[in-house]
Amino acid sequence: MKKIKFILSICLAVFSLSACSDFLEEKAKGILTTEEVKDAYEDALIAAYSSLGNDHYDVPLSLWPYGTVRSDDAYKGGSGTQDIAVFHFFEVSNNITTEFGEVDRLWYQCYVSISRANSAINAISSAGDFEGKEAKIAEARFLRGHFYFLLKILFKYVPYVDETTPITDYGTVSNRALTNDALWQKIVDDFKYGVDHLPVKQPEVGRPDKYAAAAYLAKTYLYKAYRQDMENSNAVTSINSDDLNNVVTYADMVIASDYDLEEDFAYNFLPGKYENGIESIFAVQYSGEDGTKFGRVNFGDLLSVPMKLGCCDFLKPSQTLVNAFSTQDGLPVDNYNTNESGYAEKNDPRLFHTVALPGLPYKYNEELIYENDWNRSPDTYGYYASLKENVDPTCDCFVEMAPFYANTKNRIVIRYADVLLMKAEALIELHRAEEARTLINKVRNRAKNSTIFVFYALDKINISLYKAEGWNESSARKALRWERRLELAMENGRFFDLVRWGIAEEVMNEYYSDEQSRRNYYVGAHFSANKHEYLPIPEQQIKFSKYLYKQNVGY
């Protein structure tokens, strides 16, 4: 998986022969052997896989600036508000323009990745008949579906190009050629092909199997279910029950497989033997010591390393997020956002796996206590750090890239807990709330037992399961949304959840109001409905299309 070659097509040379006897006696030239054909299409497929990690700290494919910093879970961090100022503007929903270079490069990187997937599909299709051909095409379509999913939740309306579209014609396909629903359907089609043709188990880690496709298909149907097809509005207009039933169907396929919850929540965010565990359904693979200078490291997420350990102290958990982990009788608290600093007396245990807190071990290392002086700009961004994507600096997976430090730990894209919660959400909206309670409690029960690594905080932990008494559709929906926040905090999906549920304006403006007294740069922050749910289409891309692309509403 380490070779990075880009094969656009397989060309068979035409040769001429002077006589039949010559043909019988001489080895044909210009003909690719079976192994050479296999190498060619496999190289094209590997090039598509390599796109998963071909990002940069200001163009991260983990989407941390857009899914977490743009939500109520985190501050941008860094040296101040001018440090990668574009991300600051998204954090406060102000001064967002169509000319941001970071957004343009993100769009471009996703389409480079899609182009590679399309080229792989063409290379495989041109290779003649061979065993497993459909599975190889399914791998490429899975990767294409992944990148279109990113584009869809970021921009809403994007041009759809597939393997039949010449690269030179990419700029001639309108980003409004497909409706909102039709574009979701294209992504559905790619993952459905994967469900139908991928094996139940891959011989190599990092390649998606049938259940990875099913999990991503369930996720796509969940987003598709929340209809917002109105031309000048991003408001949720309805929730489609057929799509929700498909969420249940494909989530059940994953639930019936060998995937499951890890015994301890922490196992999902540790390197080495913990990677590609039972809960990791699809993950971006990173590695070191592969002959390159630094190895195949996670360059997109390296900015979140605390300043005391290297650089650059970005992606700082918000006080609002820390407060959200507080519990009363083991359950989330309605009036939770009251602490101006520090954490509550009793908390959901996932707090200590998610947020580095002053005075406590960093990444479970008792000899490495996280302190206030680890922070770069505490007067601006406070004293917390993000844990999930980071590693213990004593690990050989911690890679110096002066002035930065990266790591080789995998980044999970979809894990089993997410699938359980996706199914629970669909069941609630299908008026089957009691069934959802069982799934939510399964996730909470795992959290309750995730104390192996945070034994130093046992006196600060209290978590309970939801009881049948008082459980109804409204309380179930509220519980589900809490659970997604606590379970998946800092995993870069929070903002997209808020948009899917149609509550981004309400939640974000309440957050800005609460945080103004803690972070004075939030004064004047305001989220505008029917605008800030999506990024603007980059002006450079509109020019590339000779103004064929239509700008998103509000910009």
Q: What is the pLDDT of residue 35?
A: 60
pLDDT band at 292 (very low <50, low <70, confident <90, very high): confident
pLDDT band at 75 (very low <50, low <70, confident <90, very high): very high
Q: What is the pLDDT of residue 38?
A: 65
pLDDT band at 11 (very low <50, low <70, confident <90, very high): very low
Q: What is the pLDDT of residue 147?
A: 98
The yes-or-no verdict on residue 9 having pLDDT over 80 is no
- Kindly list the distances between the CA atom of residue 19 and the CA atoms of 12, 14, 31, 131, in Å, as whole numbers in the listed order: 21, 16, 18, 35
CA distance 467 to 470: 8
What value does the mean pLDDT of the chain take? Answer: 93
CA distance 502 to 461: 32
The yes-or-no verdict on residue 15 having pLDDT over 60 is no
Intra-chain end-to-end CA distance of the chain, in Å = 41
Q: What is the pLDDT of residue 421?
A: 99
pLDDT in tens, 155-206: 999 999 999 999 889 889 999 999 999 999 999 999 999 999 999 999 999 9
The yes-or-no verdict on residue 101 having pLDDT over 90 is yes
Q: Where are the alpha helices (DSSP H) in 59-162?
A: 64-67, 85-92, 101-125, 133-155
Q: What is the pLDDT of residue 36?
A: 53
Arithmetic mean of pLDDT, 58-70:
98
Arithmetic mean of pLDDT, 527-548:
97
The yes-or-no verdict on residue 26 having pLDDT over 60 is no
- Nearest alpha carbon to residue 345 among 462, 465, 453: 462
pLDDT in tens, 392-446: 999 999 999 989 999 999 999 999 999 999 999 999 999 999 999 999 999 999 9
Q: What is the pLDDT of residue 19?
A: 30
The yes-or-no verdict on residue 261 having pLDDT over 80 is yes
H helix count then E strand count, the chain: 18, 14
- Torsion sign across C-alpha atoms 260, 263, 267, 268: positive
Arithmetic mean of pLDDT, 212-237:
94
Q: What is the pLDDT of residue 237?
A: 96
Q: Which residues of 45-84 are buried (b: 16+ CB within 10 A; e: fewer)?
A: bbbbbbbbbbbebebbbbbbbbbbbbbbbbbbbbbebebb
Lowest mean pLDDT among 27-31, 99-103, 298-302: 27-31
CA distance 5 to 13: 21
Whether the model pTM is above 0.85: yes
